Amino acid sequence: MTALGGTPAVALALAALGLVDSAFSGFRAYAGRDARIRKHRAVARASLRGLAVGSVLLLAPVLTACGVVLTAADRDRTYATLTEGGIGYLAPLACYASAVLLSLAAYFFLPFRASTLAVVAGLGPLTLLRPLVIAAACVGSFVRGGGVASLLVGTVAGAAVLCVEPLVHRHWYSAALRSDPTPASVPAGA
């Protein structure tokens, strides 16, 4: 596969990973803030909110890449360089996504105790590793041959993805944390 021929596939794979991660970020922004047992609609709504925020934020790396290509002296070479950087960026993310999928499969298909262990030992640490994986992806884009241009686009993309969860939380779910009952708000006789 040549660099120019692989560009749409790399871009689509990166966009798909970014959007899926955004939906999970929306879920994480909501998770643990609702004590109801049946909350499928709320989980779907939170995931869609993450997806919507992520869709907007992921325009930033697209615009950055367009700006880099349009201002370059040799656009074809810059385009090929960004493609190589995209491949380098994609490799750590693909490994990370595979580990997440494996943990999710264990969560959904194993018995209760084993699925709980899969969440605690798999998904929990993987969530904490997200910033490091994105940093590794940025390094991968540079090392693969993407140079400074790919490092710039990858950094903007990483920042955009990491901003989804705080933005969703702050906009829709931060009120739940601020509603701590104080002694003055507890009714008499309770």
pLDDT tens-place string over residues 49-83: 999 999 999 999 999 999 999 999 999 999 999 99
Q: Give me the pLDDT at residue 178, please.
A: 55
- Using a pLDDT cut of 70, give the percent of the chain over it: 89
Residue 142: what residue type? Answer: F
Cα 188 from Cα 108, distance rounded (Å): 45
Radius of gyration for the alpha carbons in the chain, expressed in angstroms and rounded: 20
* SS3 state of residue 71: helix
**pTM of this structure:** 0.84
Cα 179 from Cα 190, distance rounded (Å): 17
Average pLDDT over residues 143-168: 96
Reading the block at residue 119, the tokens are 């969440």
Burial-class residue 179 by CB neighbours within 10 Å (0-12, 13-18, 19+): exposed
Cα 142 from Cα 82, distance rounded (Å): 10
Cα 150 from Cα 51, distance rounded (Å): 24
